Amino acid sequence: MTVLQLSDITVRHDGPHGPVTAVDGVSLEIPAGTTVGLVGESGSGKSSLVRAIVGLAPVHGGRILLDGREAGGHTVRARRRLGRRVQVVFQDPDTALNPRMTVRRTLEEAATAFHRLDRRTRAERVARLLDLVGLDPQLAGRLPSRLSGGQRQRVAIARALAVGPDLLIADEITSALDVSVQASVLNTIRELQRQLGLSILFIGHNLPAVCYVSDVVAVMYRGRIVESAPTDALLRAPQHPYTRTLLAAVPGLPATSPPPGSTPLSVDTANSAPLHAGCRFSALCPDGPGRHPERTVCTERDPQQGAADRPHRAACHFPSGTVEPDEPEDGLS
């Protein structure tokens, strides 16, 4: 069963030089009870996608289906409908909580957003929520300024869980935390997923952290998903050169040196590379036309076509460094 299904989502923003397409035709499925990880670097469109899903940013194309039914829209009413099922935890522990509201009031507000609760049930609910995210119930009377970053992020998770959602979206929730605190938040997320059978969309740029909590990982690059596969398969046999570049750049304990052919050509051109009909990574691709001039297909044909038939749905004409272009069965155009 699928909880959330995104098909062909496009999100545009107004930029200084006209509209910018932040998310370009993204399709993604989050089956019930699984954690899907979404990795990508800054500017890849991860956060725009999240904001579009929960109705904080307008969607310019595509459909958002919750259990097969159309969801989305950014009116208050549509958001209320969606809010019962989908909740988000954002990145910044400093602004995650209203500085003027105690933990208790924050959680009560969320718990009573959709249900009327009497005083006793409310108190019980707050205590249970704090327990769920591994916080001492005595913290309920505190203001956010008297909590540590990790504690604030846990309160934010508790707030999201307060409405009893089916899907939790975690948008870079550990990026601003220390490693030992990140570890405990990651453990909490994993525990919650198991205890509550939640579906989780876990977004981040830290590949090891995302892989640690996710069953399936999707890799996003310049507004598109270039590869998605079960975590083990993705780590064992990455298909897209960009995924391999990302994996190679992960600093490791003990130190690893990047395998040859995984260093992108030059970052200077990354933001200025024109968006031609072909692959967006082609200008930087260690396996692309920069190293193999005969691979003109990379700049001419959109690798998104036929991606569904390739291993890991890789949006690449030469997945896993194959020599022959991967001809889609239905041909061109």
The dihedrals phi and psi of 79, each to the nearest 5 degrees, come to -65, -35
Torsion of CA 199, 204, 206, 212, to 10 degrees: 0
Question: In the range 85-144, which residues lie near other proteins by CB under 8 A?
Answer: 86-92, 95-101, 109-110, 113-114
The CB-of-308 to other proteins minimum distance in angstroms stands at 26
- Which of 17, 70, 118, 268 lies at the binding interface for other proteins (CB under 8 A)? 268
Supply 219's token pair. 């890799």
Question: In the range 20-59, which residues lie near other proteins by CB under 8 A?
Answer: 41-42, 51, 54-56, 58
CB closer to other proteins out of 251 and 331: 251
Residue 211 found at the interface with other proteins (CB under 8 A): yes
The CB-of-58 to other proteins minimum distance in angstroms stands at 7
Question: In the range 288-327, which residues lie near other proteins by CB under 8 A?
Answer: none
Q: How many residues form the binding site for other proteins (CB under 8 A)?
A: 79
Residue 7: CA count within 13 A, CB half-sphere: 10
CB atoms within 10 A of CB 222: 21
Residue 212 found at the interface with other proteins (CB under 8 A): yes
CB 224 within 8 A of CB 6: no
- The 3-class SS string of 74-109 reads CCHHHHHHHHCCEEEECCCCCCCCCCCCCHHHHHHH
CB closer to other proteins out of 297 and 316: 316
Choose one: 17-25, 122-130, 239-247, 309-317; the region binding other proteins (CB under 8 A): 239-247
The CB-of-208 to other proteins minimum distance in angstroms stands at 4
CB closer to other proteins out of 145 and 296: 145
Choose one: 59-67, 156-164, 222-230, 314-322; the region binding other proteins (CB under 8 A): 156-164
Closest CA to 215 of 9, 38, 68: 38
CB closer to other proteins out of 48 and 297: 48
CB 122 within 8 A of CB 112: yes
The CB-of-306 to other proteins minimum distance in angstroms stands at 26
Residue 216 found at the interface with other proteins (CB under 8 A): no
Supply 110's token pair. 């969320």
Residue 255 found at the interface with other proteins (CB under 8 A): yes
28 CB contacts (<8 Å, ≥6 apart)?
4, 5, 6, 36, 38, 218, 225, 228
